[in-house]
Each structure stands twice: as C-alpha cells, then as structure tokens.
C-alpha cells in the first residue's frame, strides 16, 4: 500500500509541479513555439507507467491470493448475516454469539458465511480483509489474530435501514482465557434469575437494534409497556400480548405482525433454549 501511495504522491508532485511551473513560466508572454509531438518522449511516458502498473498488479495479486486462502489449521466459525445483526456459531464448542466474536490469539480463523436475507459484507478493518455475505451461497473470509485486543467489524454492503448498526467486535484473548470463555458459554445457564438472563440476551442477541425499551418506535415496535396490553396487528385484528404471543413473535415473527411495521424480523427458532425464552418473556414483562 505504501509503495502505491509513495508512487502516486511522486507522480502527483511531478505532474502538478510541471503544470504549475509551465503555467508560471509561459503565462507572461511567450513567442517560442512548442513541439507538436515528440515520439521518443511519448513512448517513454507510455512504457514506464505500463511497467509500473504491471508491477502493482503483480504485487496486488500476491496479496490477494494470501487473503483468499486460509491456512489449513484455521478454526472454522459459521456466520449468518441478517438484517441487522451477525450470528456466530463455533462448531467444535457448541457456542453461539451475536455481534461478538471471541478468538484465541495466534490461531487463524476462517469465517464460513451466508446470509438469511439480502447481501451483507463482513469487513474486518484491522485484519485488512473483507468478503460479501450472500443469500443462497457460502463465502469465506479468514484472518489471523496476531495480538490480544478488541477489533471492530462492520457490514459494508448496504442492506437497508440499520445497515450502519450491523457491526460488532472481535475480542482476541489468550488461549487460556478463550478456553474459560468456551467453558462458561457452552453450558446452559441455570443459575441467573430469569429477568436478568432475558436482559442479557436482549443485548447479546442484538434485539435492541430494532426494539427500544423506552417507548420510541424503531425498525420494530418498542417493547415498553407492551406486555399484558392489546396490540393492533397489520391484518386489522388485535391480540393481547401475553406469554404465548411473545413466544410466538420470537420464534415465528411473521405470524402476527404489529400494525405499521414491516415483517423483517428473522426467526430465532432453534437459537434459544426454553429457559432463555422464558427469560426473554420475563424481561419483556418487566418493561413497564
């Protein structure tokens, strides 16, 4: 990159310098007549840039190949992009996360990605790699977490209303810390009180991206004070928001859509345990 930038800066300074110099030198009246062409000069300034751009191409190609090919020992993580959050699943460990990727330092990671709706793009700026995430296809992108720390990732293919908010973090941790994290997250949480568990899930599953808890409508309806009250639906009927309605809305969001909102919510079928569902119901109950 620096090579191209330095080269570009050199040519810009050269061309600008000549333009400014000629303009200054020849704007005070000049009776000499400049040449109409000069074949050796023209061949030179055609051939030299040609050689340079082929060199840039070759270098870019080499980098691209290493960006495209993950090493054989890479850890695979499955990724689902959906409007407007990222879900990750660690196949060896049975762990799922949303908008947060935790990986051990020094171990290459390969993301195996697909989209459940429109095209998204996984961009990891700190690791200089990016790949579109498509519905109906699998694409991959890999990176090597060299140093511990927190790095951002973004969606970089425009995907609608909250495109800008479809982002998260890669946490690169020591391998011991990673093992501990896996331990903690792979077993079912049976101790946290239900409303607290629900509040945690509301964050980690990125429900907050579309549903506010303070009454302001977002992509989806706000959940403040909904529970126990009647809700007007898009089909003109209405329903009382009880436990069964909340549960159905999480697992089959298209079944009863609230009036004034588009049916864009993805289904969370298979992604939540019974206890976690109850946690969310309890949490939503608590939003008065």
Partner 1 sequence: MSTAPDIATHAPSLPKEHYLNATRGFKSWALTVDHKRIGVMYLVSVLTFFLVGGLLALLVRLELLSPGGMFEQKTYNQLFTMHGVVMTFLFIIPSIPASLGNFFLPLQLGAKDVAFPKLNLLSFYIYVLGALMAIVAMVVGAVDTGWTFYTPYSLTTNTAVVITVLAAFVLGFSSILTGLNFIVTMHKLRPPGMTWFRMPLFLWALYATSVIQILATPVLGITLLLLAAERLFGVGIFDPALGGDPVLFQHFFWFYSHPAVYVMIVPAFGVVSELIATFSRREVFGYKVVALSSVAIAIIGFFVWGHHMFVSGQSEFAGTVFSFLTFFVAIPTAVKIFNWTATLYKGDIQLRTPMIYALIFLLQFTIGGLTGLPLASLGTNVALHDTYYVVAHFHYVMMGGVVFAFVGGLYYWWPKITGRMFNEKLANIGAALMFVGFNATFFTQFLLGFKGMPRRYFDYDPEFHTLHAFSSVGSWILGLGFLVALITLVQSLRKGAIAPANPWGGTTLEWATSSPPPAHNFIDTPTVTAGPYDRSHAPTATAGRAAA
Window 119-138: residues binding partner 1 (CB under 8 A): 119, 121, 123, 125, 128-132, 134-137
The answer to whether residue 100 forms part of the interface with partner 1 (CB under 8 A) is: no
The residues in 200-239 that bind partner 1, with binding defined as CB under 8 A, are none
The answer to whether residue 152 forms part of the interface with partner 1 (CB under 8 A) is: yes
Pick the piece of the chain touching partner 1 (CB under 8 A) from 39-47, 181-189, 200-208, 230-238.
39-47
Q: Looking at beta carbons only, is 177 or 233 nearer to partner 1?
A: 233
CB-based contacts of 188, cutoff 8 Å, min separation 6: 273, 275
The answer to whether residue 49 forms part of the interface with partner 1 (CB under 8 A) is: yes
Pick the piece of the chain touching partner 1 (CB under 8 A) from 8-16, 93-101, 223-231, 247-255.
8-16
DSSP string, 124-164: EGGGTEEEEE-BTS-EEEEE---SSEEEEEEE-S--STTGG
Q: Which residues pair with 130 in a beta bridge?
A: 123
The residues in 51-90 that bind partner 1, with binding defined as CB under 8 A, are 53-54, 56-57, 59-65, 67-68
> In angstroms, how far is the first alpha carbon of the chain from the final one?
54
Q: Which residues pair with 176 in a beta bridge?
A: none
| Cis-peptide, bond into residue 84, ω within 30° of zero | yes
Where do runs of H (alpha helix) occur along the chain? Answer: 2-25, 39-68, 175-186, 194-204, 243-251, 274-286
The residues in 245-274 that bind partner 1, with binding defined as CB under 8 A, are 262
User: What does the angle CA 78 – CA 103 – CA 149 come to, to the nearest 5 degrees?
Assistant: 135
Sign, CA torsion 228/230/231/236: positive
Pick the piece of the chain touching partner 1 (CB under 8 A) from 16-24, 174-182, 200-208, 223-231.
16-24
CB-based contacts of 248, cutoff 8 Å, min separation 6: 255, 256
**126 is written with which tokens?**
């700190």
The answer to whether residue 31 forms part of the interface with partner 1 (CB under 8 A) is: yes
Pick the piece of the chain touching partner 1 (CB under 8 A) from 72-80, 163-171, 239-247, 276-284.
163-171
State the nearest-atom distance from the C-beta of 41 to partner 1, in Å: 8
Find, among 106, 121, 120, 114, the residue nearest to 75 by Cα. Answer: 106
State the nearest-atom distance from the C-beta of 109 to partner 1, in Å: 16
Q: Looking at beta carbons only, is 105 or 126 nearer to partner 1?
A: 126
**Total number of residues that touch partner 1 (CB under 8 A):** 74
Identified binder of partner 1 from the candidate list 86, 154, 202, 283, rule CB under 8 A: 154
Identified binder of partner 1 from the candidate list 163, 169, 200, 224, rule CB under 8 A: 163
Q: Looking at beta carbons only, is 50 or 230 nearer to partner 1?
A: 50
């Amino acid at each position: 990159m620096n090579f191209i930038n330095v080269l570009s800066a050199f040519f810009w300074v050269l061309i600008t310098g000549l333009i400014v110099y000629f303009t200054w030198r020849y704007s005070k009246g000049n009776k000499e007549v400049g040449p109409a062409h000069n074949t050796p000069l023209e061949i030179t300034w055609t051939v030299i840039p040609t050689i340079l751009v082929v060199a840039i191409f070759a270098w870019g190609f080499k980098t691209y190949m290493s960006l495209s090919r993950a090493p054989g020992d890479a850890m695979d993580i499955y990724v689902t992009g959906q409007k407007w959050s990222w879900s990750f699943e660690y196949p060896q460990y049975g762990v799922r996360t949303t908008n947060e990727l935790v990986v051990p330092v020094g171990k290459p990671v390969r993301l195996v990605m697909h989209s459940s709706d429109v095209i998204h793009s996984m961009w990891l700026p700190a690791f200089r790699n990016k790949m579109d995430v498509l519905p109906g296809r699998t694409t991959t992108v890999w990176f090597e977490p060299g140093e511990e720390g927190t790095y951002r990732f973004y969606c970089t293919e425009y995907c609608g209303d909250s495109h800008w908010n479809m982002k998260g973090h890669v946490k690169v941790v020591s391998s011991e810390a990673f093992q501990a994290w896996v331990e903690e997250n792979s077993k079912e949480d049976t101790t946290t009180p239900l409303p607290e568990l629900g509040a945690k899930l509301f964050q980690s599953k990125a429900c907050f991206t579309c549903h506010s808890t303070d009454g302001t409508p977002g992509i989806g309806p706000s959940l403040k004070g909904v529970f126990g009250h009647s809700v007007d639906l898009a089909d003109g009927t209405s329903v009382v928001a009880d436990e069964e309605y909340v549960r159905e809305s999480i697992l089959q969001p298209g079944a009863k859509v609230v009036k004034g909102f588009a049916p864009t919510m993805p289904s969370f079928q298979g992604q939540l345990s019974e206890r976690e569902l109850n946690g969310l119901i309890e949490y939503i109950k608590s939003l008065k």
